[in-house]
Amino acid sequence: MSAAAESELEFRAEGDDAWYSVLVGAQGERLTIKYVGFSDNLDEVFEASRFESFEELKEFEGRFRPVSVQLQDEECSKAVEGLPVCASHSFNGFDLRFYDAVMEHVITERHSRAKGEEECLCTFVLVWQHGPGAGIMMEKKIENICLVQSKEKPDRNVALFLERAKEKIGKKCAKRSVSQIHPSEGWAEDINEINRQDADLGGADNYLILIENLEKDLSPSTITEFIHQQTSIVSQSYVFASSSKESYARGAIVLNTHKDLQVLCKFFNNPGHIIISSRGR
pLDDT at 36: 95
Give me the CATH topology for the region 180-269: Alpha-Beta Plaits (3.30.70)
Rounded CA-CA distance 241/255 in Å is: 21
Of 49-63, 105-119, 188-202, 236-250, minimum mean pLDDT range:
188-202
HEC assignment per residue over 111-125: CEEECCEEECCCEEE
Question: How many other C-beta atoms can be found within 10 angstroms of the C-beta atom of residue 13?
Answer: 16
Q: What would the mean pLDDT of 199-228 be, rounded to a whole number?
A: 75
- Cβ atoms of residues 166 and 254 within 8 Å: no
* Higher per-residue confidence, 121 vs 248: 121
What are the tens digits of pLDDT across the range 153-197?
889 999 999 999 988 887 766 555 544 444 444 444 444 554 555
7-66 and 69-147 agree in CATH topology: yes
Q: What would the mean pLDDT of 94-122 be, rounded to a whole number?
A: 92
pLDDT at 236: 85
Nearest to 207 by CA among 269, 262, 275: 262
Task: Please give the CATH architecture assigned to the domain spanning 69-147.
Answer: Roll (2.30)
Q: Which residues contact 33 (CB under 8 A, 6 or more apart)?
A: 11, 22, 23, 24, 43, 44, 45, 46
Rounded CA-CA distance 59/57 in Å is: 5
pLDDT of 281 above 90: no
Could you give the angle at the alpha carbon of 42 between the alpha carbons of 93 and 17, nearest 5°? 60
Of 119-123, 198-202, 249-253, minimum mean pLDDT range:
198-202
Of 104-108, 186-190, 208-212, 257-261, minimum mean pLDDT range:
186-190
Question: Among the CATH numbers 1.10.10, 2.30.30, 2.60.40, 2.40.30, which is that of 7-66?
Answer: 2.30.30
pLDDT of 22 above 60: yes
Q: What would the mean pLDDT of 204-208 be, rounded to a whole number?
A: 66
Rounded CA-CA distance 201/185 in Å is: 26
Of 123-132, 172-181, 222-231, minimum mean pLDDT range:
172-181
pLDDT at 274: 67
How sure is the predictor about 144, in pLDDT bands with cuts at 50, 70 and 90? very high
Per-domain residue ranges for the chain? 7-66, 69-147, 180-269
Mean pLDDT of the chain: 83
Instruction: Say what percent of the chain tops pLDDT 70.
Output: 83
Instruction: Say what percent of the chain tops pLDDT 90.
Output: 46
What are the tens digits of pLDDT across the range 227-265?
888 899 988 888 887 777 778 888 888 888 888 888 888
